[in-house]
Amino acid sequence: MQDVQSSPDSRCIDIRKVGVKNISYPITLQDKAKQSQQTVASVNMYVHLPRHFKGTHMSRFIEILNCFHHKFDLLALHNILEEMRKRLEAEAAHLEISFPYFFAASLGNSECISRRYDCSMCGSLKEQLDLVVEVEVPVQLNTNARKNGVQAVSGLWGKVLVAVRLNHFVWLEDLIQHIERGSASGGSGGDSPEAMCKRIGQILSSLAAFSWFRVKVEHVERGFSSYAAIEGP
């Protein structure tokens, strides 16, 4: 059978990303306390399509993913990208994986509760690997806090979305704890997105593990949300 996808294309047009999206896939992640944690991820896989190819073989993306037997860490991500470049004869490869992660977070009163955190890893490989890890952390109202002299009602204050580039391996649990420490320092009941954004940025700036970070803070108001964002260093 003729390989149409690999046949020459005379139009001389590169396509930056060609691939498959929204693959629901079981993965096993490293867990600091329990060694491993099983979850289900949504995976997007793309390659750069050179101008001399008509297309690429979509089934090969799934074949490559299956080769790693659901175990996923930073090394596996790098190896998947290498395999995508090699097998699909691509100049660049991209992998986006988003997943729920469960971690027993402290409530600040010696009590702990298991919470869900939405996380993602976005990797691109050309000459070098570029990897961004992103975590969304919900910010809860402190039931003891007061706002404008009124007792705060327990519930969701808003959320913090942090993206980082790593200089070396960091546990997701540690990154989450850094974010929660910054989001709680001023008393979430009467805090502002600007103050929270600066505190979290200051914490991340002091850590050698990150070469770059972006912090977005959103405070849910009645009918709208207030917002602040910062990047560094």
- With helix as H, strand as E and coil as C, how does the chain read? CCCCCCCCCCCCCCEEEEEEEEEEEEEEEEECCCEEEEEEEEEEEEEEECCCCCCCCCHHHHHHHHCCCCECCHHHHHHHHHHHHHHCCCCCEEEEEEEEEEEEEECCCCCEEEEEEEEEEEEEECCCEEEEEEEEEEEECCCCCEECCEECCCCEEEEEEEEEEECCCCCHHHHHHHHHHHHHCCCHHHCCHHHHHHHHHHHHHCCCCEEEEEEEEEEECCCCEEEEEEEEC
Residue 144 reports pLDDT greater than 70: no
Residue 109 structural domain:
11-127
Judge if pTM exceeds 0.85: no
Query: Is the pLDDT assigned to residue 130 strictly greater than 70?
Result: yes
Does the pLDDT of residue 13 top 80, yes or no?
Answer: no
Q: List Cβ neighbours of 93 (8 Å cut-off, separation of 6 or more).
A: 45, 46, 47, 48, 81, 82, 84, 85, 124, 125
Domain finish residue from 104, 127, 150: 127
| pLDDT for position 154 | 53
Q: Which residues of 99-108 are buried (b: 16+ CB within 10 A; e: fewer)?
A: bebebebeee
pLDDT on residue 54 = 59
Q: Of 98, 127, 156, which one is at a domain's C-terminal end?
A: 127
121 and 141 co-located in one domain: no
For the cut 70, the answer to whether the pLDDT of residue 224 exceeds it is yes
CATH of the domain at 85: 3.10.270.10
Specify whether 37 is located in the same domain as 64: yes
Percent of the chain exceeding pLDDT 90 equals: 57
Q: Between residues 7 and 93, which one has the greater pLDDT?
A: 93
Structure tokens at 198: 């600066």
**Residue 5 in domain:** no
Question: What band does 220 get if pLDDT is binned at 50, 70 and 90?
Answer: confident
Judged against a pLDDT cut of 90, whether residue 99 lies above it is answered with yes
Does residue 191 lie in a domain region?
A: yes
User: Do 134 and 176 fall into the same domain?
Assistant: yes
Residue 142's pLDDT band (boundaries 50, 70, 90)? low
Q: Is the confidence at residue 1, as pLDDT, over 50?
A: no
The amino acid present at 218, given as its one-letter code, is: E
Number of domains in the chain: 2
Residue 186 in this model has a pLDDT that exceeds 70:
no
